[in-house]
Amino acid sequence: MKQYRLEELEVYQLSMEFGENIWDIAINWSFLAQDTIGKQMIRSSDSIAANIAEGYGRFHYKENKQFCYYSRGSVLETKTWLRKANSRKLITEDQHSLFITKLETIHIKLNAYIKSIGKQSLVP
């Protein structure tokens, strides 16, 4: 089986890009919005890629899966913060739809990656 580097995993690449997209939006909000929803949304969106990376670096595939489960939880948490940002008019309806679509793609790819862990050699 082909061995992948972390940076070659599509789900990791998409997650990294998504975190940057969230940062680019929230950095322009007022202090109150940044301090409440912004910080939480940035943390949860950054946590998606961070947990994939941490799991990837673990010795045993079961640990890798566990961190991917944390990442999956962060996907759903981020969806909640996006809904709040949308309902509080911090993001437009179009931005909300785009971000939700990107998160759904990440979620699908993360589930596929979780399913593959332990079935192939992914060690760095």
What does residue 67 show for φ and ψ, rounded to 5 degrees?
-70, -30
CA dist 14 → 28, 59, 90, 99 (Å): 22, 24, 23, 12
Residue 123: band (very low, low, confident or very high) from pLDDT cuts 50, 70, 90: very low
Cross-strand partners of 117: 120
Domains with residue ranges and CATH for the chain: 6-116 (1.20.1440.60)
What tokens does 58 get? 């673990």
Q: What is the pLDDT of residues 45-99, one digit of tens each?
A: 999 999 999 999 987 999 999 999 999 999 999 999 999 999 999 999 999 999 9
Q: Is the pLDDT of residue 16 over 90?
A: yes
Residue 1: band (very low, low, confident or very high) from pLDDT cuts 50, 70, 90: very low
**Dihedral Cα 39, 40, 44, 45, nearest 10 deg:** -50
Residue 119: its pLDDT value, please?
Answer: 73
